[in-house]
A and B are shown apart, each in its own frame.
Chain A
Amino acid sequence: GENVEQHPSTLSVQEGDSAVIKCTYSDSASNYFPWYKQELGKRPQLIIDIRSNVGEKKDQRIAVTLNKTAKHFSLHITETQPEDSAVYFCAASTRGGGGNKLTFGTGTQLKVEL
């Protein structure tokens, strides 16, 4: 089955700096890669996703890049703000054709310091 590894497990940055979180996946059939943000005691919230036919996607301060050959994808947050502090999870899925089970990474605790 699919295996997703995520690094780093914790990340501390100064406000205004950039943050990068990296994930690798094992199943070459995976074609959908969402990123979720989970604040303490709250539900995971989808912040951005990318499909395997695209190499990069951007939404304001957040961007995701995908390298299918190397089977890795990354989340980039620019101009970080204190409200970006949370746990971020990457996930991989094979969408369509009978299900969209998400396999999650182990999470990255991002702390944005003033």
Chain B
Amino acid sequence: DAGVTQSPTHLIKTRGQQVTLRCSPKSGHDTVSWYQQALGQGPQFIFQYYEEEERQRGNFPDRFSGHQFPNYSSELNVNALLLGDSALYLCASSRGSSTEAFFGQGTRLTVV
């Protein structure tokens, strides 16, 4: 079992650009959540996908959007990147809403 995998591991983008991050959930998991972790802070919930629909959303602007595919994998898209979007983006998967969440290793995004 490969666990939760994310790609890419590191990314450097220029302010104003767009970025897409990818996540494959742990085998048997159908729910994917995305978190933003700024340096020295706890992860902040962005949104959660289940059955290819956004089920919950945190306090993030519409520049942050996502998608879930029929195989349960997910993408996080961020448009019009700001310097403040620089962070570690973590994906977590679970089976429904009743099991513990397992995290991927994250994608380190740097906006310059």
A contact set with B: CB distance below 8 Å: 1, 4, 6, 34, 36, 42-46, 49, 89, 91, 95-107
Q: A103: nearest residue on chain B (CB-CB)?
A: B45
Instruction: Give the number of residue pairs across the A-B interface with Cβ within 8 Å.
Output: 65
Shortest A33–chain B CB gap in Å is 11
Choose among A34, A43, A99, A102 the residue that contacts B105 (Cβ–Cβ < 8 A). Answer: A43
Interface assignment of B63: CB less than 8 Å from any CB of chain A: no
Interface assignment of B106: CB less than 8 Å from any CB of chain A: yes
Q: B47: nearest residue on chain A (CB-CB)?
A: A101
Q: Using Cβ atoms and an 8 Å threshold, which residues of chain B touch A101? A: 33, 45, 48, 56, 58
Shortest A51–chain B CB gap in Å is 10
Establish whether residues A43 and B55, one from each chain, have CB atoms under 8 Å apart when the complex forms: no
Establish whether residues B55 and A102, one from each chain, have CB atoms under 8 Å apart when the complex forms: no
Can you name 29 A-B residue pairings with CB atoms under 8 Å?
Answer: A6-B42, A43-B4, A43-B104, A44-B90, A44-B103, A45-B103, A46-B101, A91-B42, A96-B97, A96-B98, A98-B55, A98-B56, A98-B97, A99-B55, A99-B97, A100-B48, A100-B97, A101-B45, A101-B58, A102-B33, A102-B45, A102-B92, A102-B101, A104-B42, A105-B42, A106-B41, A107-B40, A107-B41, A107-B42
Chain A facing B: main interface SS: loop
Please count how many residues in chain B sit with their CB below 8 Å of the partner chain's CB atoms.
28
* B 19-37 to A, binary, CB cutoff 8 A, 1 in contact else 0: 0000000000001010100
Q: Using Cβ atoms and an 8 Å threshold, which residues of chain A touch B42? A: 4, 6, 89, 91, 104-107
Other A-B contacts than A34-B101, A89-B43, 12 sampled, CB-CB below 8 A, are: A42-B105, A44-B43, A45-B103, A49-B100, A91-B42, A95-B97, A98-B55, A100-B31, A100-B94, A101-B56, A106-B41, A107-B41
